[in-house]
């Protein structure tokens, strides 16, 4: 058992980016933090804040993930969270990766990222958010062993528009059909290939077309009023727009010099015009995934 205090954190992420369904994700600059100190028995607490959990779901998820590596260790964990919960921004994956990292470090082990990757993908059920939270940058993945990590997108602003509606991942997945028309499958395959190539080559001007999709967004849009029109929005500096993960958040990737304030007002209006309140959050793509470091002070940083 480690006798030292340590700090751990994992990032938010946005998955799919349109046609990269369950395969593509980018890490974002908002993070979930944990301050860990030795204790006689396991204890888990959450600091107050705009994104603190309001029920026991996050606590249960963290404890379940830690138990995958053995009994809960004798530590006190203080969690501070900057990631909107239940919004399609990878809070579940961040919590899972963070919990596994804490469990390994609390046992006195060095981080085994391959083990964390395998367990996180199994727990989450798909590799996109899990690997972005673990490794940072941009990940394109089939599974925990077959993936590519690309650098974080450069000169890019990630503008998140978050409507104040509830849409769980399970509910969002239930909206998808069991079968697809061949034309829709081909449409999305073409754009998924273009998306991966554009991200790998840094050809971000191709993202507008590459982030179009017919596999999940049209079906989820039925439960997110205003989303269909929002996805068609265009303005100078907008590289591409997609539903973030299962939603209901929309992500717009912008050039750094774009008029973020005006674009944010435009994007919010697609929801507010339907009577749904919405907020925008400006983040940046992040190169940092799971980070664990020893520290001497037990305060969150």
User: What pLDDT, on the 0 to 100 scale, is given for residue 56?
Assistant: 85
User: What pLDDT, on the 0 to 100 scale, is given for residue 3?
Assistant: 57
E strands within 63-209? 75-81, 138-141, 147-150, 156-163
Evaluate whether residue 297 is within a structural domain: no
Which domain CATH number covers 215? Answer: 3.30.70.890
User: What pLDDT, on the 0 to 100 scale, is given for residue 55?
Assistant: 86
Which pTM does this prediction carry? 0.94
Evaluate whether residue 291 is within a structural domain: no
Q: Give me the residues of the chain with pLDDT under 50, please.
A: 298-301
**Do 213 and 257 lie in a common domain?**
yes
User: What pLDDT, on the 0 to 100 scale, is given for residue 297?
Assistant: 53
Non-local CB neighbours of 32 within 8 Å, separated by 6+ positions: 9, 10, 11, 12, 79, 80, 81, 82, 83, 91, 94, 95, 98
Which domain CATH number covers 67? Answer: 3.30.230.10
User: What pLDDT, on the 0 to 100 scale, is given for residue 298?
Assistant: 46
Evaluate whether residue 292 is within a structural domain: no
**Do 121 and 166 lie in a common domain?**
no
Range of the domain at 30: 6-151
């Amino acid at each position: 058992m480690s006798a030292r205090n340590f700090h751990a954190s994992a990032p938010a992420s946005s998955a799919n980016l349109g046609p990269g369904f369950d395969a593509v994700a980018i890490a974002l600059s908002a993070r979930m933090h944990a301050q860990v100190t030795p204790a006689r028995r396991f204890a888990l607490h959450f600091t107050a804040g705009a994104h603190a959990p309001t029920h026991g779901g996050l606590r249960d998820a963290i404890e379940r993930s830690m138990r995958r590596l053995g009994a809960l260790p004798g530590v006190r964990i203080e969690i501070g969270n900057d990631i909107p919960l239940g919004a399609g921004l990878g809070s579940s994956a961040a919590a899972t990766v963070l919990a596994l990292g804490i469990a390994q470090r609390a046992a006195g082990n060095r981080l085994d990222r391959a083990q964390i990757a395998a367990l996180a993908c199994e727990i989450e059920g798909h590799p996109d958010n899990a690997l972005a939270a673990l490794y940072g940058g941009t990940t394109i993945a089939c599974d925990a062993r077959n993936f590519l990590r690309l650098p974080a997108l450069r000169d890019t602003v990630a503008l998140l528009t978050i409507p104040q509606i509830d849409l769980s991942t399970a509910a969002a997945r239930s909206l998808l059909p069991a079968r697809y028309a061949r034309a829709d499958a081909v449409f999305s395959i073409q754009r998924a290939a273009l998306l991966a190539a554009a991200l790998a080559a840094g050809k971000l001007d191709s993202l507008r077309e590459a982030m179009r999709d017919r596999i999940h967004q049209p079906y989820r849009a039925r439960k997110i009023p205003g989303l269909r029109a929002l996805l068609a929005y265009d303005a100078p500096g907008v590289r591409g727009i997609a539903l973030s993960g299962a939603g209901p958040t929309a992500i717009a990737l912008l050039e750094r010099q774009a008029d973020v304030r005006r674009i944010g007002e435009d994007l919010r209006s697609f929801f507010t015009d339907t009577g749904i309140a919405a907020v925008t959050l400006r983040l940046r793509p992040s190169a940092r995934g799971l980070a664990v470091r020893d520290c001497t002070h037990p305060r969150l940083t």
